[in-house]
Chains A and B, each alone.
Chain A
Amino acid sequence: MRYLPKSDAERAAMLREIGASSIDDLFTAIPEEYRLTRDLKVPRQMGESEIIDHFKAAAARNANGYASFLGAGAYRHYRPVVIDALVQRGEFLTSYTPYQAEITQGTLQAIFEFQTMICELTGMDIANASMYDGSTGAAEAVMMAVRVTGRDNVLVARTVHPEYREVMHTYAQHQGHDASEVAYGQDGRVDLAALERAVTEETACVLVQSPNFFGVIEDIPAIAEIAHKKGALLIVSIAEAVSLGIVRPPVEADIVSMEAQSFGVALSYGGPYCGVLAAKEKYLRQMPGRLVGETKDTEGRRGFVLTLSTREQHIRREKATSNICTNQALVALMTTIFLTVYGKQGMRELALQNLAKATYAADTLGVQGKLLFTQTPRFHEFVLQTDEDPEQLNARLLEKKIIGGLDLRKWYPELGNATLWCATELTTKDQVDAAADVLAESPVTAEAR
């Protein structure tokens, strides 16, 4: 077995030194009736080339060579090759949580840089990469707001990603603070009048997503004012991190929960992704997860160390701010490298390209259907209503090797035949034009003529 660095002779010698006659002597603590006397029924041991063939065959049974207009919380962006070249270095890949700071300064400094860049992008004072993803991050942000305010009413906009809302519900139901939803208006944004009516002195927080699930940018200053008037916190959830290159950061928020997958993390059929939590300084001690701080060693040299860990589960146990242990170090490192590659100017240029591609796509596809929420600023996603039902439309698009917008009927049936489309810097004009051609051939519209 090539992962096991021992010869049979060495095993025998070691057993003799221990004073055991066979390896079974070391398993006698397991009661006899529970000892497995047969092989596990798993596939037989494979050679390396066989393993690769197995996964290549699996990969071939997934979409290959399709144009895709899918977004909805997971975004297709270009991943600079230096990312994998660096994160696959053994010192990053096979290192552990930096509890022993003297021999993990590489990890610690990279996290410190990450924390800085997230603060710069989001307008917050403190940040960490300890949430599993945007959905659990939102749930943790809500719990944090409940702790800080001591209140238990939570308001969540219906324009927040539906799966995020499901997750928040799962977390909240046993902690006495389940959420009420706030409707959206004709402009695709949270209905401010409805929000104003819903916020009370018992409201712990208002949670919105921006750009929201429809791609529309929320009016953060107005929402903040409504929330803060009654002493509630504002949590802004960001599903598309690249938007921060060109969209104004939510500086009025108290807590920002962000999914950083767009910053160089592969789509990988849904995970691992990178949940980020950022907040204003006054909430520091209520923030779950790991933080890296700058300090000095005994010789006065600058170094970095995990700090404020007393809030964590390994010390506080049942009084911990969260049960979270593992963080997202390696994917956070990918995002750190991504942000360093693009840098101050590049993030704007990248976001601008996304905006341009999406504008072209919306203008072009909009001719073949009805674009919703056109009066409101949006980033790179938009909702298109069509006469043709989305299932049929998408089937026709697939024939031309195009994966069309996400069918919204499951979550927003009131929008009728609506699909959510996304265009990024990787979307080409030809792909958009090809999709438009398919839409133009709609049998429904043809009948109607």
Chain B
Amino acid sequence: MSYPEKYKYTREHEWVEVAGNVGTVGITDYAQNSLGDIVFVDAPKVGTKVEKGAVFGSVESVKAVSDLYSPVTGTVTEVNEELASSPEKINTDAHGAWIIKVELSDAGEVGALLSAADYEKFIAEETGK
């Protein structure tokens, strides 16, 4: 699996794509594979403030729940409504099925996150052990 170069990644397996002042957030292919068939996405409402490193929602599969940690700080401007009726889109296209869009309070924040190459190295270490 190749991880899109233009995204940034977290160790909690989220990705974020920054365009201007807007960050689009989702979970990685590795995450969806670990979770299994996703049955429900608990996303915040538009207008909610999110904080880097803090929990902003969760993703449920049949056997597990995973908290979602925000890679960025800001305010939620859009929520992907498709996931309410078709959460499985995350399984089939994790890097395309975004969960929230955030108006960033500090676009420079993402500099500290992992690049695609670093993230791939990180997963290799995780699965290798």
Contact = CB atoms under 8 A, between A and B. Distances in A.
Q: Tell me, yes or no, whether A and B come into direct contact in the complex with CB atoms closer than 8 A.
A: yes
B65 A316 contact: yes
Interface string B35-77: 0000110100000000000000000111111010000000000
B129 to A, nearest CB: 23
Contacts of A376: none
B40 A285 contact: yes
Contact of B63 (A285, A310, A311, A319): A310
Contacts of B40: 285
Contacts of B61: 310
A315 interface: yes
B65 A315 contact: yes
A315 B40 CA distance: 15
B64 to A, nearest CB: 6
Nearest to A320: B65
Nearest to A307: B62
Interface in A304-351: 310-311, 315-316, 319
Contacts of B62: 310
Q: Is the interface of B mostly helix, strand, loop or mixed?
A: strand
Q: Is the interface of A mostly helix, strand, loop or mixed?
A: helix
Contacts of B67: 319
A311 B64 CA distance: 9
A313 to B, nearest CB: 12
Contact of A315 (B39, B42, B63): B63
A315 B58 CA distance: 13
A98 to B, nearest CB: 15
Name which of B40, B61, B63, B65 has the most chain A CB atoms within 10 A of its CB. B65
B42 A285 contact: yes
A311 B65 CA distance: 8
A310 B61 CA distance: 8
Contacts of A285: 40, 42
Nearest to B67: A319
Contacts of A316: 65
A71 B40 CA distance: 44
A31 B65 CA distance: 40
A447 to B, nearest CB: 69
A310 B65 CA distance: 6
Contacts of A315: 63-65
B69 to A, nearest CB: 14
A319 B65 CA distance: 10
A243 B39 CA distance: 38
Nearest to B55: A319
A319 B67 CA distance: 10
B66 to A, nearest CB: 10
B79 to A, nearest CB: 16
B49 to A, nearest CB: 14
Contacts of B64: 310, 315
B65 to A, nearest CB: 5
A437 to B, nearest CB: 63
A316 B59 CA distance: 12
B36 to A, nearest CB: 11
Nearest to B66: A310
A249 to B, nearest CB: 29
A349 B114 CA distance: 69
A311 B60 CA distance: 9
B91 to A, nearest CB: 16
A285 B57 CA distance: 13
A319 B66 CA distance: 11
A316 B60 CA distance: 10
Contacts of A319: 65, 67
B45 to A, nearest CB: 11
A310 B64 CA distance: 6
B63 to A, nearest CB: 7
A285 B40 CA distance: 10
A151 B59 CA distance: 24
Contacts of B63: 310, 315
Nearest to B60: A310
Contacts of A310: 39, 60-65
A251 B62 CA distance: 31
11 contacts: A285-B40, A285-B42, A310-B39, A310-B60, A310-B62, A310-B65, A315-B63, A315-B64, A315-B65, A319-B65, A319-B67
Interface of B: 39-40, 42, 60-65, 67
Given A285-B40, A315-B64, 11 more contacts: A285-B42, A310-B39, A310-B61, A310-B62, A310-B63, A310-B64, A310-B65, A311-B65, A316-B65, A319-B65, A319-B67
Question: 7 tightest CB-CB pairs across the interface, nearest first?
Answer: A310-B65, A310-B60, A316-B65, A315-B65, A315-B64, A310-B64, A285-B40
